[in-house]
Structure 1
Amino acid sequence: MKKYFQLKNLFLIVFTVTLASCSKTEDIPQDIEINDFVWGGMNAYYKWQGIIPDLSDNRFSTREQLNSYLSGTGTPDELFNSLLSYPNEFPKDPNRVFSWITSDYIALENSFQGIRLTSGLKLVAIPYADNSGNAYVVVRDVVTGSDADIKGITRGMIISEVNGTQITTGNVSQLFEPNNFTVSLADYNGGNPTTNGTIINIVKSEVTENPIKVATIINEGANRIGYLMYNQFASDFDDELNQAFANFQTGGITDLVLDLRYNGGGSVASAVYLSSMITGQFNGEVFANKIWNEKVMANFSADNFIDRFTDRIVKKDSNGNTILDETINSLNLSTVYIIVSEQTASASELIINCLRPYIDVKLVGTETVGKQVASITLYDSDDYTRNGPNFNASHTWAMQPIVLEIQNRDGQNEPNGFTAEVQIAEDNSNLGVLGDPTEPLLERTIQYITTGARGTNFSFTSEVEKPIWNSNMKNLDYNNMYIQFK
């Protein structure tokens, strides 16, 4: 049974020790209430709180001093950003701190479950081969039921103009921001696409995306290969994920291909469930260790910082009522094949990292992002939970700060990302159909399964350029890994 991490009163403890004579609820001027929430939550939980001078427990000796500081820190997002650290934990890019604040926690909560205002287009931008500064975008996927899907846009299509404006390396992000826009389709033309006269109008709408894109069984000689393309660790779909594994069980699969090439992460709990579905023979053993800041680690027992393999999915509502309790359908595999890319991050990397002490994890694709840290959602209440005492309903600000590092059973992680032993990048001129055995990355993985041969490496070259932008970057939960905060 899953144990929810109980950290409800840590800030109250710290605040009481630091400002013993002050009342949090009575001594805060209304114009700094939100900034007080920001500072308090970061002081209690931010992973690098101990090295930020303005977050020090000894920074303020009275409530008046703290109030004076907060009144001069600007807007909530300005204060939040001023408190962030740029530590050495991110050697590939030290500025990727992965923490953020939002003025709309409803949109944030929805994004965790795949509910977004979206065109349905999942895009990457590639510079023109002629080095002109122009760029084109390739449709890597389309969300089922979105306007782009309804209008007939499919994987592999190329877009060179938006609202009649040529895409460039500098304007690509802003061109796709409007809620209503037209796209001009183009022909590849050796990496210098030319428009072909097809123009399609796209309107964004709120769509719920099922993260289980494809779940099928492929027969390849004596091998019955289960293929799962899973695009987000969204807890609302854990039961459907479990059903997919029931189908794999019934189908008698001999091998599993887990396609995480576009999966930027999500719920750690869902990652534990998925890993338990892939295995099953390690129930109760350590899946991951969570390393919080020193204050948190000192105030709770060691078991609070461990996630374990499990044989059940158990979920409760905000009132503690059980809403789902079912046996996990486990495959008891000793090997898993995972397709990865430059968009594979956080909870996807957690799967790789935490399974590898137990089973053989074989990777096909390109190097992953490298993100071994996780966040929680903090709200403006006494204990920073959504249903906590004195919840401030006068605003919708929430924070998603990095609060912990996650290591596997052996204390390992890979901040530089994971490198696939079978290296193959997607060919923008020939993406193939997801789930089809002839799709290039899946085809190479099947070859690896059936022959053991890795084949010739095919990574980013002058013909297959590395993306400079992808449309998932605009999502509130981009490359996020989070735990449930109760």
Structure 2
Amino acid sequence: MKKILILLVAAITFSCSKDDDLSLPNTVDPDGSADVEVQDFMWKSMNFWYFWQANIDDLADDRFESTEEGKAEYTAFLDSEENPAAFFENKLQYIEDRFSFYNEDYRELTNSLAGISKSNGLEFGLVRFQDSEDIFGFVRYIVPNSNASTVEIQRGDLFTGVDGQTLTTSNYIDLLFGENDTYTLNMANFDNGNITPNDVEVSLTKQEGLAENPVFLAKSFTIAGENIGYIMYNQFTNEYDDDLYSAVEDLKSAGITNLVMDLRYNPGGSVNTTRLLASMIYGTNTSDLFLRKRYNDKLQEQFNDSQLEINFADKVNGKNINTLGLTKLYVLTSSSSASASELLINSLEPYMDVIQIGDVTRGKNEFSTTLVDDRDNSYLYTPSRVNNINPDNQWAIQPLIGRNENADGFFDFTSGLQPDYELKEDYSNLGILGEENEPLLAKAIELITGATGKRDFTVHYPINIISSSKENSLMSDKMVDDTVYDLEF
């Protein structure tokens, strides 16, 4: 029996020896007659960790016999797809799995998990023109200290083309997310419901290593006798946990008694950061259950309740959490709010009144982890062990490995979390983020102060995005398990 202390994604300490084999006995190695090292890593790691392992016949524990014939069959199976990406998608990925993915370079993937990317700092949504394949973009926000922050472009601006080409459903990925580091946006005007190109052009250049602090805005208001805090939080990134707690501490010092969490553009991220934020908002009783994990049947039976159950926290990076201790939370959402954003809402629901304002969320209730070709470490990516990753295989996969359920046992929100007050963003009236007249924030303020009926919240041009800048990033819709627990098997 091997005992492993696992911190998925962050830090992992193992007490297993080099001779330990975490693969199943009937999992065989290729005989070297084919170049299938990457596929071999993918199969073995997915056989062990994948949530839907039992649903994929080719991932079954008894799929290949530990014989010479079985070894040859296994090698032929790995060699059935020359491209590892195609092998992953066609042979290993469950048909209902919308979110597992891969990358040829683990460094690019892990940087993305840390909020570091190659980007020009323009965050935008994309909308399809009615009855047309043409699309247009609208600016959501600008990342501070980015290339986009140095040019004439701002929230609410519209664009219909790139480098003189009209954006369509078939070309926007190549034009906006391709290999071109520099591109020029062809801007547009909005007039009486019509979006028409103008002669304005904005040139943008992607920069390597752009780090986005996800705590985009934090401020407080005193309105109608209510002390209201507001945080716009755009990714659950554990490298910025101290910044997040600082923002909460400042709001507590300001005497807030109400909090609005703006997660409308937050695609997810760290499970542990989500737990910390929930503790900052609700409470620090470490006996209260934050979530319960569910893995594939093979792994699930290896855990006891104390290993599967994650409770609220009382410290962030060793510092005691001075919680807000609220009984009610207002959350702003859109169809881009996903995974860890949904986890925050779902896990707080059993304990407090969570009032959701905006649009239906994405519907991502599974968590993932980063797997690399470090076979002595059960394929788990560990920053301190990068020198142990197979130098001939730099691929990483980010498969879904489990689901989280809240203290009431609820987890089924694959169709998204429905808002209590539906209010889509309106591209003719986006408003200024963090200003009390911005429509979604204004609705929350109205509910807090009880000043109903004083504003018309009619949405004339609702935004129904088909994609966004964040949805085309590696961190899109990710809930990354980086909590600590003991595993024995």
Q: TM-score, normalised by structure 2?
A: 0.88
Instruction: Pick closer, same or farther for the CA change 1:48–1:173 going to 2, 3 Å.
Output: same
User: Counterpart of 1:355?
Assistant: 348
1:99 touches 1:400 (CA, 8 Å); kept in 2? yes
Q: How far apart, CA to CA, are the structure 2 residues paired with 1:279 and 1:104?
A: 39
The one of 332, 339, 360 equivalent to 2:325 is 332
Q: Is 1:69 aligned with 2:73?
A: no
Q: CA RMSD in A?
A: 2.6
Write the distance in 1 (CA, Å) between the matches of 2:253 and 2:463: 41
Aligned AA for 1:247?
D
**Which residue in 2 is equivalent to 1:91?**
none
| Residue 469 of structure 1, CA deviation | 2.1
Cα displacement (A) at 1:255: 0.3
Query: Aligned partners of 2:169, 2:31: CA distance in 1, in Å?
Result: 50
Q: CA offsets, 1:440-462, max 9 Å, x none? A: 1101110011107499996876x
Residue in structure 1 matched with residue 272 of structure 2 by the alignment: 269
Question: Are 1:301 and 2:304 matched, yes or no?
Answer: yes
Change (3 A) 1:459 1:308: farther
Residue 295 of structure 2 corresponds to residue 292 of structure 1 = yes
**Distance in 1, Cα, partners of 2:216 & 2:343:** 20
The Cα of 1:373 is off from its aligned counterpart by: 0.4
Report the CA distance between 1:344 and its aligned residue.
0.6
Q: Distance in 1 between matches of 2:248 and 2:189?
A: 39
What does residue range 379-398 of structure 1 map to in structure 2 within 5 Å?
379-382=372-375, 383-386=378-381, 387=385, 391-398=389-396
Residue aligning to 1:117: 118
In structure 2, the residue matched to 1:369 is: 362
Query: Structure 1 stretch 325-334 or stretch 36-45: which is displaced more?
Result: 325-334
Does residue 1:203 correspond to 2:205, yes or no? yes
Q: Which position in structure 2 is the counterpart of 1:126?
A: 127
Give, in whole Å, the separation in 1 of the partners of 2:201 and 2:450.
Answer: 45
Amino acid at match of 2:38: I
Q: Find the aligned partners of 1:485 and 1:110 in 2 and give their Cα distance.
A: 19
Alignment of 1:95-106 (within 5 A): 97-106=98-107
- Whether contact under 8 Å (1:173, 1:471) holds in the other structure is no
The percent identity for this pair of structures is 34
**Distance in 1, Cα, partners of 2:60 & 2:348:** 37
1:85 alignment counterpart: 94
Q: Find 1:39's aligned residue among 43, 48, 54.
A: 43
Distance 1:240 1:476, change over 3 A: same
Whether 1:471 aligns to 2:480 is no
Partner of 1:229: 232
How far residue 76 of structure 1 moved from its aligned partner, in angstroms, is: 1.5
TM-score w.r.t. structure 1 length? 0.89
Contiguous gaps of at least 5 residues in structure 2 = 485-489
- 2:487 match: none
Which residue matches 2:442?
443
Report the Cα offset of residue 485 of structure 1: 7.8
Shift of 1:272: 0.3
Q: Secondary structure at the match of 1:125?
A: strand
Superposition deviation, residue 253 in structure 1: 0.4
Gaps of 5+ in 1: 88-95, 315-324
State whether structure 2 residue 79 is matched by structure 1 residue 56. no
* Corresponding residue of 1:155: 155
Q: 1:47 to 1:384 in 2, by over 3 A?
A: same
